Amino acid sequence: MTRRPRALEVDDAGLHGAPGVVVHGEIDVATVAGLEAAIDAAIRESEGAFVVDLIDVDFIDSSGIHVLLRARALLGREERALAIICRPGPVRRVFELSRSVELFALYESREETAAALVPPDDRRNTARP
Per-residue pLDDT of the chain (129 residues; tens, 9 = 90+): 556 667 899 999 888 888 999 999 999 999 999 999 999 999 999 999 999 999 999 999 999 999 999 999 999 999 999 999 999 999 999 999 999 999 999 999 999 999 988 765 554 444 433
Q: Say if 105 falls within a structural domain.
A: yes
CA distances from 120 to 82, 123, 126 (A): 18, 5, 10
Q: Say if 38 falls within a structural domain.
A: yes
pLDDT at 128: 37
Q: Say if 47 falls within a structural domain.
A: yes
User: Residue 102 belongs to a domain with what CATH number?
Assistant: 3.30.750.24
Q: Say if 1 falls within a structural domain.
A: no
Q: Say if 64 falls within a structural domain.
A: yes
Q: Say if 3 falls within a structural domain.
A: no
For helices 62-77 and 32-44, the axis angle rounded to 10 degrees is: 10
Give the residue numbers spanning the domain of 40.
9-127
- Number of domains the chain is built from: 1
**Termini Cα distance of the chain:** 57
Give the span between the Cα atoms of 101 and 113, in whole angstroms: 16
Give the span between the Cα atoms of 129 and 121, in whole angstroms: 15
Q: Say if 35 falls within a structural domain.
A: yes
Q: Say if 72 falls within a structural domain.
A: yes
Give the span between the Cα atoms of 76 and 62, in whole angstroms: 21
